[in-house]
A and B are shown apart, each in its own frame.
Chain A
């Protein structure tokens, strides 16, 4: 018998029997119900202690007493006042929503679950109602009539449930006539909960790990070296090429940073191996770092301060190693941080140089301040200038590929063409999913922003339904069997989503497909791909 944290527990019929009809009771009078499979376990005290966060303790979501500070109400209200003064987005988004409802059916959790509090507007109203009651004249005087409600422990529990049912994907903000961004609301909500020591372990443990070991998974430097030694062995078995994988090397031209999720588990490791093979093949003077061994940043899902603390390693390591610039791998929220936050938080990086491709001479002017470019920008430049190593696209002919735009690179960066350009260069069969499900309208994997844990399985599957249905659509109509994406969380969570909603579609990174197709100097006759599966045509010989 399957348990609630396993896919098999969830019946397809029941999961697609979704009603968008709201409940009979008004939302303010509908308390939250914690259902196993729809919430995440609390952060363990030791991780909070390691990061120096408030109110470390062991507690249970389903227990009545969450062991909050005695003056928790004051802490929340002061925390709100402080953030209203520091974030114009917060103050503005509290004031100007007209509740037109344009965002309502844009959220993947609402589409796949029908819980009205997963309508972005209502998710924000959870906070707005408290804001009105405590920070606006109308709300103070007229209370409920002006849309206010008192701050109670049930409100805190509701915040916890719904701010950890938002993946900060920003899809709703594309449709909002005022650009109200639920990611901002959720971030504020999570920061406020954090003041009471309310975190989920799936986020705070990786954050604590990252602070200590440099990466979310807590991989220590010697283990990391071992993992990459194994990669080198595998790469040699596959290609016959012996690759050099430099670590912590001073004086390299480029520091390469990518999420640690990709060096730990399938299918991400094939992409990580792809990086090693690719950089070796083009002879880039680069290095990995064990200290800055995480591009992802679970601080983004915690607070702006923790985000800054984790992110600081990238620039400080670049400075210590004396590199000229930084290349970042395929990751989603990592690029949100690198593109929209890093320079502001930990810059200026005036010890680095404007990125310049040593092979093509292209200067990446658009990154002249941050000094960090995306590997897809780098590859696209090589291809355009005819400097990419030769490729044999047919090696990917077993794949009919579609591309999932990851939320953050799509709506928090705008990198749409580079990955498609690279994909088309390395595989023959590329199909787009329906237009309302890609590019700026792309759907989340359902497990971003730190929600991708198995105890949250029901919400992951529900949130993954819109993406899964779009994949299923191209699977049925075009025989798609491969979903490429440039995000490590996607590679971990879409695997589950596809298995459930589009069975038979495998997930991969783009660089994995590049590595398959790339004809390396001195390679042996390639018979297997990066997954050790026979190349198309190789079976018959």
Chain B
């Protein structure tokens, strides 16, 4: 599918979904959107997540195939690379941690350009930077939202908020991640649209989650800074959801915009396990990253190691015995 239909379908889907949340609440279905939908989405999310991870885990890893990007462990005096060629479980954990926390492989990214038919490779960290900004902003935003689900705001949430609000420019406190998440997403989206190669490989499956997240972040931004709603009522509703005692009476005091936001969040949760967003969990299971490069020291077991037809030495000698004897090669049977 070419760019335009892919993009427009995704955009229309997000717009319609937002409309359902917004319009549904305005039309008086706030309880459905504010209580039933979030629970259903959460169930789909948890169920889907467990199912998908179990499904992956049920397929064995027949061979130990780490991508080695550094010196192996061999002779003692040769300095080895414990991160890019990990030999122990601890070293694997370190490699994984750097991958998960800092997107280390993306840090190696280069851009290939042709100069008079000669390829030239330049370091290119824009994708890494955009990914870091988006993912960490998203994480902080999520943690900040804990305030809404817990009656007592935990100390670390307050601490995060203080750090995030370092650009204090009035009331309400302006959070760096509010803009970070939007910038990160817009960056990733424009890159997808403007880079011809990336545009060519992009599917609706790529535009939809980006636009969905933009819808969520954008409506969230509005709710916090522009078109505020009754935050006390929201907290009543959300704490109610978290404590399984839904506060239906609070719904009437909350603006439809909030329900547009909430509905998109619910869609994100429900969509998550069935989409590429599962890279969040998948990265931990990737056999090229989470295995030690020690396959010559410790035998890796393939649970389905097949029985196959071999050509044995005896059969070989039967095929060639006379020729072997002619040139004086030793044989088993004269």
Where the two chains meet, the residues of A that have a C-beta atom closer than 8 Å to any C-beta of B are 15-18, 20-22, 26-28, 52, 84-92, 95-102, 104-106, 111-112, 116, 119, 121-122, 125, 136-138, 144-147, 170, 173-181, 184, 211-214, 220-222, 225-226, 247-250, 290-291, 304-305, 308-309, 312-313, 316-317, 320, 339-341, 343-345, 347-348, 362, 364-370, 372, 377, 380-381, 384, 410-418, 421, 434, 436-437, 440-441, 465-466, 469, 472-473
Q: Is B112 in contact with A222, judged by CB distance below 8 angstroms?
A: no
A411 CA / B298 CA spacing, docked (Å): 19
CB < 8 Å neighbour of A343 from B70, B75, B295: B295
Given A88-B56, A104-B201, A222-B324, check contact A144 B106 (CB 8 Å).
Answer: no
B59 lies within 8 A of A91 (CB):
yes
Q: Which of B18-26, B172-180, B300-308 contacts A (4 or more CB under 8 A)?
A: B300-308
Pick 28 A–B contacts, CB within 8 A, sort by A: A17-B117, A86-B59, A86-B60, A88-B57, A91-B59, A92-B56, A99-B198, A100-B106, A105-B110, A116-B200, A136-B274, A145-B1, A145-B9, A175-B108, A179-B99, A179-B288, A225-B328, A309-B310, A313-B311, A344-B295, A348-B299, A364-B74, A370-B297, A414-B69, A414-B71, A436-B110, A436-B121, A469-B119
| Contact present for A116 and B197 (CB under 8 Å) | yes
Whether A381 contacts B75 by the Cβ 8 Å rule is: yes
- Asked if B316 is at the interface (CB within 8 A of a chain A CB), the reply is yes
A250→B329 CA distance, assembly (Å): 11
The A interface is mostly helix, strand or loop, or mixed, namely helix
From B63, B65, B109, B293, A414 is in contact (CB under 8 Å) with B293
Is B282 an interface residue when CB atoms closer than 8 A count as contact?
yes
Candidates B67, B112, B317; contact of A170 at CB < 8 Å: B67
Contacts of A411 in B (CB 8 A): 67-69
Return the contact of A92 from the options B199, B282, B312 (Cβ within 8 A).
Answer: B282
List, in ascending order, chain A residues with CB within 8 A of B330's CB: 248-250
With a CB–CB cut-off of 8 A, which chain A residues contact B61?
87-89
Cross-chain contact A362 with B63 (CB below 8 angstroms): no
Task: Give every chain B residue within 8 A of A18 (Cβ-Cβ).
Answer: 114, 117
Does B32 count as interface, using CB distance less than 8 angstroms?
A: no
**Contacts A84-B59, A101-B201, A469-B119: A366 and B294 contacting too (C-beta < 8 A)?**
yes
* Contact partners of A225 in chain B: CB under 8 A: 327-329
Among A90, A101, A212, A348, the residue within 8 A (CB) of B198 is A101
- Inter-chain contact B279/A96, CB cutoff 8 Å: yes
| Most-contacted residue by chain A among B69, B73, B330 (CB, 10 A) | B69
- Whether B2 pairs with A317 at a CB distance below 8 angstroms is no
Q: Please state if B313 and A291 are interface contacts (CB–CB under 8 Å).
A: yes
Most buried by A among B1, B203, B297, B298: B203
Closest Cβ–Cβ distance, residue A522 to chain B (whole Å): 25
Known: A221-B323, A222-B326. A96 touches B282 (CB 8 A): yes
Going nearest first, the 7 A-B pairs with the smallest beta carbon separation are A16-B117, A414-B72, A414-B68, A96-B282, A179-B288, A440-B69, A436-B121
> B130 → chain A, closest Cβ, in Å?
10
- Nearest-Cβ distance from residue A213 to partner chain B, whole angstroms: 8
Contact B84 A440 (CB under 8 A): yes
- What residues of chain B have their CB less than 8 Å away from a CB belonging to chain A? 1-2, 9, 52, 55-65, 67-75, 77-81, 84-85, 87, 99, 103, 105-106, 108-112, 114, 116-119, 121, 127, 131, 195-206, 274-276, 278-279, 282-283, 285-289, 293-302, 304-306, 308-313, 316-317, 319-320, 323-324, 326-330
Question: Does B70 contact A414, Cβ atoms closer than 8 Å?
Answer: yes
Interface class of chain B by DSSP: loop
Which has the most chain B C-beta neighbours within 10 Å: A92, A144, A145, A181? Answer: A92
Name the B residues within 8 Å of A250 (CB-CB).
330
B74–A88 contact, CB under 8 A? Answer: no
- Specify which chain B residues have a CB less than 8 angstroms from the CB of A308 in the assembled complex: 306, 308
User: In the bound complex, what is the Cα–Cα distance between A417 and B312 (angstroms)?
Assistant: 37
Q: Which residues does chain B contribute within 8 Å of A291, judged by CB atoms?
A: 313, 316-317
Chain A hits for B324, CB < 8 A? 221-222, 290
Closest approach, in angstroms, between the C-beta of A335 and any C-beta of chain B?
Answer: 10
Closest beta carbon of chain B to A152's beta carbon, Å: 17
CA distance A316 to B262 in the complex (A): 64
A residues near B52, Cβ cutoff 8 Å? 95
Q: Known contacts A89-B288, A91-B55, A105-B197; is A212 also within 8 Å of B78 by CB?
A: no
With both chains docked as a complex, state the minimum distance between the C-beta of B115 and any C-beta of chain A, in angstroms.
Answer: 10
The answer to whether A89 touches B72 (Cβ under 8 A) is no
Complex-state Cα separation, A377 to B76, whole angstroms = 11
* Least CB distance, B210 to chain A, in whole angstroms: 10
Nearest-Cβ distance from residue A436 to partner chain B, whole angstroms? 4
Report chain B residues within 8 Å CB of A473.
118
**Contact A99–B56 (Cβ < 8 Å):** no
Select from chain A the residue with minimum beta-carbon distance to B205: A147
Most buried by B among A179, A248, A345, A437: A179
- Please give me the residue from chain A that is nearest to B287 by CB atom: A89
Known: A104-B197, A147-B204, A340-B64. A247 touches B329 (CB 8 A): yes
Residue in A closest to B68 when the chains form the complex, CB atoms: A414
Name the one of A105, A247, A340 contacting B63, with C-beta atoms under 8 angstroms. Answer: A340
Contact residues in B for A17 (Cβ distance below 8 Å): 117
**Bound Cα distance A124, B301 (Å):** 27
The distance from the CB of A443 to the nearest CB of chain B, in whole angstroms, is 9
Q: How far is the CA of A89 from the CA of B289 in the complex (A)?
A: 11
- The CA of A111 and the CA of B127, in the complex, are separated in Å by 20
CB pair B286–A180 under 8 Å, yes or no, is yes
- Please give, as numbers and ranges, the residues of chain A lying within 8 Å of B71 by CB-CB distance: 414-417
The answer to whether B65 touches A184 (Cβ under 8 A) is: yes
**CB closest chain-A residue, reference B105:** A177
Using Cβ atoms and an 8 Å threshold, which residues of chain B touch A174? 67, 69, 105, 108
Are A175 and B109 closer than 8 Å at their CB atoms?
Answer: yes
Interchain CA distance A178-B67 in the complex, whole Å: 11
CA distance A18 to B117 in the complex (A): 7
A316 touches B313 (CB 8 A): yes
